[in-house]
A and B are shown apart, each in its own frame.
Chain A
């Protein structure tokens, strides 16, 4: 087990180094420091302002070690990223680490309830349609799930804001306020949209898992011993379906921190998804570079955690 964990971690480190290399090429070679400066300063910037900006932001270093071994952008890029010293935003000079800390709260405020409600609802509905398998409830459920999966989240957002916010006037159309007295009011609609937009694919997945389990011998045994259908579904089928559920859950957890790009943007929630969108729209290459790095780190962590969790919940799985 320990050997497996170490091996996976080493593999993860190699991937991180590779990701950093790709990021360097993308952010310093493809988009040169001159481009970054021009983007930051805008159309009215003069050449001397561009040079000054580069010097102020440390982009005036040579790119490669063979140009200046001691002070080059490649070394600086690797050393700062690996030490989690993310530096300052290209746009306003604010520390990026602080931005990430500030953005994590609003992101989690949106993603955690959306994830929890979504998971609960999807499992419940999955059990429900599996319970009524091969009836019109099952068929209608599957049809609705496929329909829900086929619709873009953009449509959910726009329709949600229009119907729930504008026509029915249940919740604010958009906005965010960290004041606990009004926070729920702002989160209700984005959470609802997040749950509804994701529930289709989740329900289909869980339904398949549950239906597969209901055909197993232990289920027949439970029924023959006189267990009620509800008890069979919850006590036996659900418990034995935990591995695929866990896989999906563990893989999704790291991404709760990065928020939702579109939802945060449309609802004006100042989370990490919104931070990434802002970095793109404002040509904040430094922040974007960090966000891509953080995202890849979380993905790698999620992958490793999933592999390990397999072994922990199912003794039949051996890690070699």
Chain B
């Protein structure tokens, strides 16, 4: 009888377990809220707007920190619109060659509520942001104590470099000064000369030379208003968090939970300026967009002109691995997501969404990324570079003609890329339209002819009588990425050139680059802002790796290109500038410091209940424009995720059936 009760309890427990289980990773009471669920793959290094400089961090900081300028949600090419500023300022040339920009801040811009504001007065939970806060942040960008990766880009501001140096010197020389709060140190040094506050809502920025791209930096969180109270209060002492882990800004959302190794929750900022001023350009859904937006449902009358944001909450969960993340997207627990390589064929068939995915009302979005991946030659190399003169140039041209990017994209990216023709991605305004680089169309006969002209007939080096030997330095080559690099080696082998793939660690590679001991490399670059200058500067003399440590790893320095670059970088977009860019591209076409490989095409998926999805390409979250139908989501999730319980009973039954004969045999033998 006792055994019967035990068996009954066991079966009962199994039933309870089977019925009580479900795979919903969120609390049930959240199901009906407009919560956007998204994921992040690694804990953020810093959410300090002076330091945060990657896509993952910007997905959080972009919601917390509003900027003076921002990008139009729908328009392409990318267009700047006023954010916290009343208008996009225009450059005012000064007589001595300097340039001035005047920004006017909207009134009524408040920080999200936070206990840090008690530092400014007992009982305060927020305060109005002023241009003092923007100036404070600009001074922080010059502060050597912060790991600011874009400091160079602000050095055009008059007195910026001097302020940076003064901070280093005074802190080194005067310990009492170094012990002061940073804000007091900045004040003691008189701030940055080119940053002047005319009144709390007017800021004047003076550049010592023209730099039209500066406006793009005012659309990034680097130049957001920062509350000194937050920086000083969140100092990591006495149980308080560090400011890098506790962002406080003027954006549409504020941090509610920040567990960087598990979960980040952002709630609506009740003091967001857009709630009081919904007609501000960045505070309502746009009335106009790019061609095709209306057809794509992005100018739906239900949204146009409506105040932002539409969501109640944004929640990020840590998902380190792609497979669980993708499966949870398919279960409806993430609202949007990418496509993992392993499931690409399941999701996309003949460039379109598979019928299985389409039946789930999942939408596929494609967008060319404003970035480029390229092979590069070290132009200071004796064989391949400038020292080899015309021989080197022809060798580079021949090698460029041999590489089939299209096939590479098909083999290794599931077709998710465009064969690149110039360093400037086609989505960037000012990129040469319809241009086909003659050295990026595969032509092995012409390549062989060029090799003959270069003195390497059939790839044979006359000095050795053997195939010309070159080295392709690739760092951190995994078993997965090795075939991707080997592909290029095999392409060059068709010309008879013997390129050796040398896999090194990241550090060894960097050392080789520092010593100039490399010949060929593979590299990539993503746009900071949508301007050709942000790509062409990668080939300017001033950015040479060998002399300045800059990002020009090809060490390309061409007087004609440089002269054109210097003209182009200070010009506004227009026909004249575009003509110069075409000239620059023509120089690169002949000189071939790079072999342009591809511009990525991002494939993203979104569920049917998520509205207003338009891929942006650059690292600017457009979350405030998104909307969710939570009722539909909850209904669909339930229907997709009903637990399957029969295997519990099947396994238990199989176990019992399996061991009963054993029991019988055993006890019969024992008896």
Contacts and interface: CB of A to CB of B under 8 A. Distances in A.
A56 interface: yes
B42 A35 contact: no
A26 interface: no
Interface string B623-663: 00000000000000000011110010000000000110010
> For B242, B261, B318, B647, which residue has the most chain A Cβ atoms within 10 angstroms?
B261
A91 interface: yes
Given A169-B643, A173-B23, A174-B328, A136 B245 contact: no
B153 to A, nearest CB: 11
Given A92-B244, A95-B236, A282-B45, A177 B263 contact: yes
21 contacts: A39-B506, A41-B149, A52-B147, A53-B147, A92-B242, A165-B324, A168-B643, A169-B22, A169-B23, A169-B642, A172-B333, A173-B328, A174-B319, A179-B27, A186-B25, A265-B320, A265-B321, A268-B262, A274-B261, A277-B320, A278-B43
Interface in A24-38: 31-32, 35, 38
Given A56-B144, A265-B320, 10 more contacts: A56-B147, A93-B236, A165-B324, A166-B330, A171-B21, A174-B328, A178-B262, A185-B25, A266-B320, A278-B42
B149 A44 contact: yes
Nearest to A182: B27
Interface string A47-64: 101001100100000000
B259 interface: yes
A232 to B, nearest CB: 12
Given A39-B506, A268-B317, A181 B149 contact: no
A161 interface: yes
A229 B353 CA distance: 63
Contacts of A171: 21-23
A155 interface: no
Contacts of B670: 229
A49 B321 contact: no
Nearest to B553: A43
B45 A92 contact: yes
Given A46-B549, A93-B244, A94-B242, A172 B45 contact: no
B24 interface: yes
Contacts of A177: 25, 262-263
A135 B261 contact: no
A219 to B, nearest CB: 14
A92 B236 CA distance: 12
A175 B328 CA distance: 10
Interface residues of B, number: 59
Contacts of B5: none
Contact of B551 (A44, A56, A92): A44
Nearest to A47: B549
B137 interface: no
Contacts of A174: 25, 319, 321, 324-325, 328
Contacts of A270: 259, 261-262, 318
A166 B641 CA distance: 9
B331 interface: yes
Interface string A239-253: 000000000000000
Number of chain A interface residues as a range: 35 or more
Main DSSP-derived SS at the B contact region: loop
Contacts of A281: 42
A275 interface: yes
A14 interface: no
Interface string B145-156: 101110110000
A46 B327 contact: no
Contact of A167 (B25, B319, B550, B644): B644
A103 interface: yes
A91 B510 contact: no
A176 B42 CA distance: 14
Interface in B536-569: 548-551
Contact of B24 (A52, A162, A167, A172): A172
Contact of B327 (A41, A165, A179): A165
A161 B327 contact: yes
Contact of B27 (A38, A45, A181, A278): A181
B45 A91 contact: yes
Nearest to B172: A55
A311 interface: no
Contacts of A265: 320-321
A92 to B, nearest CB: 5
A268 B318 contact: yes
A143 interface: no
B94 interface: no
8 tightest CB-CB pairs across the interface, nearest first?
Answer: A270-B261, A174-B324, A172-B25, A47-B549, A35-B507, A137-B662, A170-B21, A270-B262
